[in-house]
Every structure is written in C-alpha cells, then in structure tokens.
Amino acid sequence: MRFKEKVVLITGGSTGIGRATALAFAREGASVMIGDVDNSAAEVVQTIVAAGGVAYFQRCNVSDGAQVDDLVQQCVGRFGGLHAAFNNAGILPTTKLFHEADGDEFDRVIAVDVKGVFNAMKAEIRHMLNNGGGAIVNTASVAGVIADPGMAAYVAAKHAVVGLTKAAAIEYARNDIRVNAIAPGLVDTPMTSRWLADPAFREMFFAASPIGRAAKPEEIAGTVLHLCSDAASFTNGQIAIIDGGQTSH
C-alpha cells in the first residue's frame, strides 16, 4: 500500500498502459482521478470501485489547457490533493514516409502528445509548488530516444516529451517536484493492435527484438509506480527505457 492516502491523476487512463497503471495505483491504496476523451474510462473507475478502491473519471481533452486546468482543480477538490501524476494521453499517427506525411495529422499529434503533456505539467506543477511537491511521470516512447521510418510526427512528439521532462526536472527539483518519463517499446494495447495484427510486422519486429515479444501494459505500469514512489526519491529528469532490450544493440 505504497500510495495509501495519496491522490494520483492519470491522463489517458481508459485503455492500455493508462488503464493498467490506474488499476495498479488503486490496488496500492491511491485515490485515482482519470482524465480522458474516451468514455470507456468510466469502466476503469467502476472496476476500481467494485474492488473497494476510490476513483473518478472526468472527460478531458488534454490539448485544451482550460480543460486540463479544470481536471486538476476537480481532482484536488474531490480528493483533497494531488501527490502524483501520470501524463499518458497520446495518439499514434498512421505510418507514412516523411515526404508523404499529412500536415494536419502532424498538428494533431503535436497538439495531443506534446501540448497535452505541456498543459498537464503546467497545471500539476502549479498545484505542487504550493502543496509540498510531488512526482510527475510522462509517457514518452523509445521513439523519443531513437527513430523509426514512417513515424516522423510521433518521433518528433516523443523527443519533445523527453525535452519537456528534463526541462521541468531541473527547474523544480528544489521544490520537491520530481519529473521523469518512461520510454516503452512495443506494448500490446489497442493503439498498437493494427501493427500486431500484421503477420509481416510481427515477424520482422520479433525477429529483431532480444526478448521476442511485445510488452503487456502491466509490465510498464510497475515502472510508473516506482517512479512515483518514495523509493525513487532521488530519481529526477530520467527517461526509463522499458523495451525488452530493443535499443540495447
């Protein structure tokens, strides 16, 4: 029960990594606030409550700063505080070569994957500055430390998340606010289902992967909880790569 009497805010908590992390925080005693544009996040809340936990869902488009500000205010008002945040909301563009990429789609990826994290961090930090600090974890990707073909917008966005994480980490370390990011490799989630359903992609990727499989969302959640816990009290500005060895060669 590492998070008993703690309040955690999660964006993008309806499916995949966000869902698994919300359930894991709740199992360890946290009150969980979920912000998402996907109403299926309500099912995650129902699952938590049915197991005896405490959770609430508020619809929120993270690209809209006013909605994010309200999400944080509602979290604090409902649960009495905010001790940790997992900024996980994101979208994945279609795979296209750089010269064929769509400008409008690029803008959408930046609006959600970069500005969404920026909006969330601003609102969370403003609260934490006046309330004893806290821990923030952002979802980057291995695409934030390497590049893959056909993924220019996503690579740009996730590199930006890495930069935002480091910038905030050095600015607020002496305010007892720690900011880190996770960089997952391929994870079996609804967002990656189109890749994993492609036999050619599976054969190519798994042949090159040291571990030879995709991660389960629960295998990513554990790192998020660690980074938000007191056990990681000296971990700040770091990018935790969770990729089964993909980037090690």
For the entire predicted model, the pTM comes to 0.96
What per-residue confidence (pLDDT) applies to 195? 86
Between residues 204 and 121, the one the model is more confident about: 121
Tell me the C-alpha to C-alpha distance, in Å, between residue 37 and each of 25, 59, 68, 216, 246. 21, 5, 12, 23, 31
Length of the chain: 249
CATH number, span 7-187+220-242? 3.40.50.720
Name the packing angle between helices 16-27 and 41-50 (round to 10°).
Answer: 20
How many whole angstroms separate alpha carbon 196 and alpha carbon 86?
25
In the chain, domain spans:
7-187+220-242
Contacts of 66 (CB under 8 A, 6+ apart): none
Contacts of 232 (CB under 8 A, 6+ apart): 135, 178, 180, 226
What per-residue confidence (pLDDT) applies to 50? 98
Tell me the C-alpha to C-alpha distance, in Å, between residue 10 and each of 17, 20, 44, 73, 137. 10, 11, 12, 14, 10
Whether 172 is catalytic = no
Find out whether 85 and 168 touch, Cβ atoms under 8 Å.
Answer: no
Name the packing angle between helices 217-228 and 16-27 (round to 10°).
Answer: 50
Residue of 79, 118, 154, 205 marked active site: 154
How many whole angstroms separate alpha carbon 249 and alpha carbon 73?
44
Label residue 108 by pLDDT band (50, 70, 90). very high
What per-residue confidence (pLDDT) applies to 237? 98
Find out whether 22 and 249 touch, Cβ atoms under 8 Å.
Answer: no
How many whole angstroms separate alpha carbon 35 and alpha carbon 13?
7
Find out whether 43 and 57 touch, Cβ atoms under 8 Å.
Answer: no
How many whole angstroms separate alpha carbon 120 and alpha carbon 161?
12
Question: What average pLDDT does the structure give for the chain?
Answer: 96
Instruction: Report DSSP state, residue 249.
Output: -
Average pLDDT over residues 59-75: 98
Label residue 77 by pLDDT band (50, 70, 90). very high
pLDDT tens string 1-53: 999 999 999 999 999 999 999 999 999 999 999 999 999 999 999 999 999 99
- Which range (21-25, 166-170, 197-201) has the least confidence? 197-201
Token reading at 159:
């590199």
Label residue 194 by pLDDT band (50, 70, 90). confident
What per-residue confidence (pLDDT) applies to 249? 77
